[in-house]
Amino acid sequence: MLPRQMQRVGRDWIAHWNSSQVFSWNNPISTCMRWVGHYPWATFPLSVPFDYSANWRWPLFFRPWRQFQNSNWQLDNFTQNCCFHLSNPNMKSEGGEPSTKKRRLSGQRDTSAPEAEKSSSNQKEAPCLSVVHNEGNCTSKRGAIQRHWEYFCQHSRAMKTSKNKATDQSNRESEAKFDFTVMSYNILSQNLLEDNSHLYKHCQQPILIWTYRFPNILQEIKQLDADVLCLQEVQEDHYRTEIKSSLESLGYHCEYKMRTGRKPDGCAICFKTSKFSLISSSPVEFFRRDIPLLDRDNVGLVLLLQPRLHCKTSAAVCIANTHLLYNPRRGDIKLTQLAMLLAEIASVACQKDGTFCPIIICGDFNSVPGSPLYSFIKEGKLNYEGLAIGKVSGQEQFPRGQRILPIPIWPQKLGISQNCVYEIQQQQKEENTGEKMTEAKLDGTEKIVIASEKLSSKLQHHFKLSSVYSHYFPETGKPEVTTCHSRSAVTVDYIFFSAANNDTAAQPGAEHTLSGGLKLLGRLALVSEQDLWTVNGLPNENNSSDHLPLLAEFRLIER
């Protein structure tokens, strides 16, 4: 017997016989197919006839899910068994939401024009911010998340238009400046997806298969066309067999660091060889066998890149990518991992004159805006005395346990100071500036002072870092969201950058010693949680990760 969905077809279907039989709507047939049977309505880009011969068998999607999952399903194989072609209506806002999301959002006011709301609110954010809705990088696919470009400078918008024209004038301008785009994207490891299936109960199972997800992810990368990609949760076997070769065919050079434990994913930084050349690549492992605190297998990756394209500036750009520990109750590990990443950045980005080259730090930090960890990155300092471990990341509103961060957080044998630099590097800097005193000249009082400094509860770093995103919509106060699944929708992904002194779009930071800096020209706008549930959250039919890609455009400024 046909499933109930098909019994209602009635007069609207027509059976065509010509050595084969196809069921179709009288309406114009879309390129999508309704998923009937056990999983009501996942869509696929299919449109092929069905072989109604003696060897006919029920298609895979009518069989039990486990049998389907183990069938090594692929789009090409699946189209051979396709028989029903049904149009797919646009997803309504609350049709597929988990009950918890419905209850949470039911009390919120619905805005009739969310795009207009975001546009007007973002215009208040910065004096020279302009919102562009019809850019090539904007999402325009039907039923997809609507995102637009926000420019912080009108000249940037004109520059973006002239880029497609490839005029002589734009070539002359490129000699005086260097503009580039950077994307940060957690693409959701398939292994982690399957290990945490409870987070994706709102999703139809077929859209969670890697052979369905990867083409969507690759299409997003092609469409946004960033000069630098910082990817997290890149599964090693997929990277080796598909991801690396696909990105190389798009003109990227790829560097990859796999996690050190059993989980087979890691971080990748890919850059266009037409835009940059590689100076150095430095992987960072946060696991230390001899330090009990550092028993987790998270990693980072730090690249030093040299700009190309007739750029007069000789400054390099340091790009870092990481995925910090998730556990909300282990803020001590998170801060230590962050300090290790900052120490490696300080080592890589340090120039001969003692200044730092421009720095961009991307990643999934598993910390929310305004949390102590986030504030430390932006402000360059943190006094953690009396701070509960569970409050470091701000992931839990009411964290369990009241354990306080120890002083110091990490042992001295890690070799990283409270300034988040390697001890050897700090000693060399002290020797160069004449600040170091020999122990023979120290009296007992001075020794006590140094001992107390080593036990200080104050962390700091010497980068002036700003966030590309402001994390809230100024007009409504609603938070921006970078990740959304069945249990939460928050911001945990960031792009931080060392801002030039004259960058009006940047947030003020700590004192620093930078060789030049970066000016934020524009960004791809984020959306609210309510906006995401209008497309059934993440992942969905068009967005195949539980995170949104972050994208920003920068201009390299010489000192």
Query: Could you report the per-residue pLDDT of 70-118, keeping only the tens digit for each?
Result: 445 444 444 344 333 333 333 333 445 555 455 455 544 444 333 434 4
Question: Count of H helices and E strands in the chain?
Answer: 16, 21
Q: Compute the average pLDDT of residues 497-511.
A: 65
Q: In terms of Cα–Cα distance, which of 125, 148, 153 is closest to 503?
A: 153
pLDDT category of residue 315 using cuts at 50, 70 and 90? confident
**Can you list the positions of beta strands (E) in 26-153?**
84-85, 130-132, 149-151
533 contact partners, CB below 8 Å, separation of at least 6:
93, 94, 97, 101, 105, 484
- State if pTM tops 0.85: no
Whole-number percent of the chain with pLDDT over 90 = 56
Give the pLDDT of residue 455: 75
Tokens of 260: 């050190």
321 φ, ψ to 5°? -140, 135
264: how many CB neighbours lie within 10 A of its CB? 17
Per-residue pLDDT at 438 exceeds 70: no
Per-residue pLDDT at 406 exceeds 80: yes
d(CA 482, CA 484): 7
Weakest-pLDDT range from 69-83, 450-464, 467-481? 69-83
pLDDT category of residue 503 using cuts at 50, 70 and 90? low
d(CA 215, CA 219): 6
Weakest-pLDDT range from 181-195, 234-248, 305-319, 348-362? 305-319
Higher pLDDT, 125 or 189: 189
Q: In terms of Cα–Cα distance, which of 234, 274, 237, 271 is closest to 256?
A: 234
Helix then strand then coil, in percent of the chain rounded to 5, is 30, 25, 45
Per-residue pLDDT at 7 exceeds 70: no
Give the pLDDT of residue 157: 54
Per-residue pLDDT at 4 exceeds 50: no
Q: Compute the average pLDDT of residues 192-212.
A: 97
* DSSP tag of 239: I
1: how many CB neighbours lie within 10 A of its CB? 5
Per-residue pLDDT at 260 exceeds 90: yes
Give the pLDDT of residue 479: 97
* DSSP tag of 439: G
- Angle, nearest 10°, between helix axes 423-433 and 331-349? 50
Give the pLDDT of residue 452: 44
End-to-end, the C-alpha distance of the chain in Å comes to 74
**Cis amide linkage into residue 479, ω under 30° from 0:** no
For 354-398, what is each residue's pLDDT tens digit? Answer: 899 999 999 999 999 999 999 999 999 999 999 999 999 999 988
Give the pLDDT of residue 196: 97
Q: In terms of Cα–Cα distance, which of 319, 318, 321 is closest to 357?
A: 318
248 three-state secondary structure: helix
- 29-51 burial code (b ≥16 CB/10 A, e <16): ebebbbbbbeeebbbbeeeeebe
Give the pLDDT of residue 176: 57
Is residue 462 within 8 A of residue 376, CB to CB? The reply is no
Give the pLDDT of residue 288: 97
pLDDT category of residue 162 using cuts at 50, 70 and 90? very low
Give the pLDDT of residue 399: 86
d(CA 21, CA 56): 12
Per-residue pLDDT at 557 exceeds 50: yes
HEC string of 355-418 equals CECCEEEEEECCCCCCCHHHHHHHHCEEECCCCEHHHCCCCCCCCCCCCECCCCCCCHHHCECC
207 contact partners, CB below 8 Å, separation of at least 6:
42, 213, 539, 540, 541, 544
For 264-279, what is each residue's pLDDT tens digit? Answer: 999 999 999 999 999 9
Higher pLDDT, 174 or 269: 269
> Which range in 8-12, 30-34, 43-47, 468-472 is most confidently predicted, on average pLDDT?
468-472
Per-residue pLDDT at 352 exceeds 50: yes
Give the pLDDT of residue 424: 83
d(CA 270, CA 187): 14
Whole-number percent of the chain with pLDDT over 70 = 61
d(CA 46, CA 449): 72
**Can you list the positions of beta strands (E) in 122-263?**
130-132, 149-151, 178-186, 228-235, 252-258
Is residue 470 within 8 A of residue 459, CB to CB? The reply is no
Is residue 416 within 8 A of residue 460, CB to CB? The reply is no
d(CA 405, CA 196): 29
Mean pLDDT over the full length of the chain: 77
CATH 3.40.50.1110 assigned to domain 176-421+455-557? The reply is no
Is residue 90 within 8 A of residue 142, CB to CB? The reply is yes
Strands across the sheet containing 276-285: 276-285, 299-307, 317-323, 359-364, 493-498, 465-467
Q: In terms of Cα–Cα distance, which of 473, 468, 481, 467 is closest to 553?
A: 468
- Characterise 548 by phi-psi region: left (phi > 0), alpha (psi -120 to 50), beta (else): beta
Give the pLDDT of residue 101: 53
d(CA 188, CA 235): 9
User: CA separation (Å) from 353 to 135, 139, 316, 356, 513?
Assistant: 41, 44, 14, 9, 10
Is residue 303 within 8 A of residue 269, CB to CB? The reply is yes
